[in-house]
Structure 1
């Protein structure tokens, strides 16, 4: 059962191969097994790659089955259409397009499997890239809100500076009228004279202005602090909103790029392995000598070709002979006097009818 299945996979003619030796059948069983397992690897590779795209098992498996069947059909077609020739150069020229196609298929199959094999190393590369992207994202978002935060901070600092400046002025006026009352500075007279009253009045006015400035500026500072909190909250929200995009940087293209950043040699050897598997049936057919199956198949094809050529020649000869006979028959008929007179009589009647019909039409138009 398994033998017949692999022969089917090889694309060989089962009836012709059944009449060949056991060794010849074994050769095509091996070719068919290679074609089948290549298709299985293609199914696994494409399913994994599409799972990375869709993040769903069922669509990935369905597309994987379609891709595996496509690769199976292509490989089977490639192997079954190679024919053994008299010269190796002719065989190589015949197989060269198929070898190119096999190389392309091998690369397509190997890449998703490389991604799976080096998954841990790729995750490390992606983690570093995600961390760098997160830092850059925070920096860009912070720069976007930096102008508003700096402007708000400058306004708050200016308001605080006004309060501090006024407080210094009030403290200075306080010291002035106290020293005046003690007689240590100013008029140097002890007691609360006219100068003292003037200085304490200035202090009281400045103290009143300080209370007013403090009240107004503190209200503005509270507003600015609230605005700063809002801006900071917007900044944090923007970073939070954009972070899932960075966390989702885990698609097929991202992993292929990450794979390219890993050392080349391991990845190259895996690709070469699949290349060897994919091209092995073709290389085997090219290098193997012309076998029993090839001779029998060539005999069947040459016999069919000879039959078709003979049939075509007979059809062409039949057409030519039939045409010659018809020409002779009609030539003999044209010499018959009775047939000629009858044809002349009928033509004369037809011309008379046409003439009468023409005259009737002319009368109707007058």
Structure 2
């Protein structure tokens, strides 16, 4: 039962193959098994590839089965249409387009399986790429907000420096009038004299300015800090909203590109394996000697071809003969005087009837 199924998969004519030896049947059963398992591998490969695209198991399996059936039909067609002519060069020329198609199919089948086999390595490459994309994304977004944030920070620094400068000036005046009171500087007279009062008033006036300056700058600094906080919040919001796009950067094309960044030798061996599997039925038919099945098939095709050629030639001869007979018949009729006189009389009577009818119609009109 299984052998019969594989023979059907090979595309061979089962009626002809039944009359052949067991060895010939086993050869085509092996070819059919290769075709079947190649289609099975294509189904698995396509299902995985489509799962990475749709992220839905049912859709991936359904379209994977459709793809597997398509590959099965193509392989079966390729193998069944190679005819053994007995001339190796002619057979190679005949099979060259099919071999090219088999190479394309092998590439299509092997690539998704490579993605699955090297999944862990591909995930590592994708992780590094995602991390780099995250850093690049943050840097690009930061370029939109950093100039405004830096300007606000510089403004805050400037305001704080003005306060510090004013505080330094106030502290210097404070030390001056204290030294005057203690007699360690200025007039060097101990006590609170006119000079002390003058310096104290100047300090108090500057202290009042400092307090007013602190109040005004504090409000400005607070406003600037709120603006900085809002800009930083907007920056983080934009980073958070774009991060899912980077996290989902693991589709089919991204994985193929990541696979290309891995060492090429393992991928080459996997491709060669599937290429060997895909082309093995074709090579088997090319390298195998002309067997009983090929002879019987050629005999059947020659029989049909001969029969069609004979029928076509017979129909042409019958047509030519019939035409010659008709020509002779009509030539004899043309030379018959009795037929001529009869047709002459009939035509004359018909023309008289037409003339009478025309006269009658004209009389009615008048």
Measure the CA separation in 2 of the matches of 1:353 and 1:228: 116
1:188 Cα deviation from its structure 2 partner:
3.7
1:168 corresponding residue in structure 2: 168
d(CA) in 2 for partners of 1:360 and 1:107? 90
Change over 3 Å in CA distance of 1:345–1:167 after alignment to 2: farther
Quote the residue 1:265 is aligned against: 265
Q: Compare 331-340 and 255-264 and name the one that shifted more.
A: 331-340
Structure 2 counterparts to residues 1-366 of structure 1, below 5 A: 1-345=1-345, 347-348=347-348
CA distance in 1, matches of 2:277, 2:284: 11
The offset of 1:258, in angstroms, is 1.4
TM-score normalized by the length of structure 1: 0.93
Please say which of residues 201-210 and 269-278 is displaced more in the overlay: 201-210
Offset, 1:175: 2.3
Give the unaligned 5+ runs of structure 1. Answer: none
In 2, Cα distance between the equivalents of 1:346 and 1:209? 142
1:104-163 deviations in whole A, cap 9, x for unaligned? 111110111111111111112212222222222222222322101110100110111111
Count of residue pairs brought into register by the alignment: 366
Q: 1:193: Cα distance to partner?
A: 3.8
Distance, in Å, in 2 between the alignment partners of 1:55 and 1:157 is 53
Distance 2:296 2:196 in 1: 134
**Shift in alpha-carbon separation, 1:57–1:361, aligned structure 2, 3 A:** farther
The Cα shift of 1:310 comes to 0.2
Q: Provide closer, same or farther for how the CA distance between residues 54 and 361 of structure 1 changes in structure 2, counting only shifts above 3 A.
A: farther
RMSD: 2.4
CA distance in 1, matches of 2:155, 2:303: 101
- C-alpha separation between the residues in 1 aligned to 2:250 and 2:68? 25
CA shift for structure 1 position 245: 1.4
Q: CA 1:361 to 1:206, structure 2 compared with 1: closer, same or farther past 3 Å? A: farther
Measured against aligned partners, the alpha-carbon deviations of 1:311-347 in whole angstroms (never above 9, x if no partner) come to 0000001111111111122222222334334444555
Unaligned stretches of 5+ in structure 2?
none
Structure 1 residue 359, shift from structure 2 partner: 9.4
| 3-state SS of 2:167 partner | helix
Distance in 2 between residues matched to 1:357 and 1:241, nearest whole Å? 99
Q: Counterpart of 2:130 in 1: which secondary structure? A: helix
Separation of aligned partners in 1, 2:259 and 2:354: 92
Taking structure 1 as reference, are residues 22 and 191 closer, same or farther at Cα in structure 2, changes over 3 Å only? same
Inter-partner Cα distance in structure 2 for 1:198 and 1:99 = 108
Residue 125 of structure 1 aligns to a residue whose secondary structure is: helix
Tell me, in whole angstroms, the C-alpha distance in 2 between the residues paired with 1:67 and 1:357.
79
Q: Which moves more between the two structures, 233-242 or 79-88? A: 233-242
Residues 348, 199 of structure 1: alpha-carbon distance in 2 compared, 3 angstrom cutoff: farther
Deviation at 1:203, TM superposition (A): 1.8
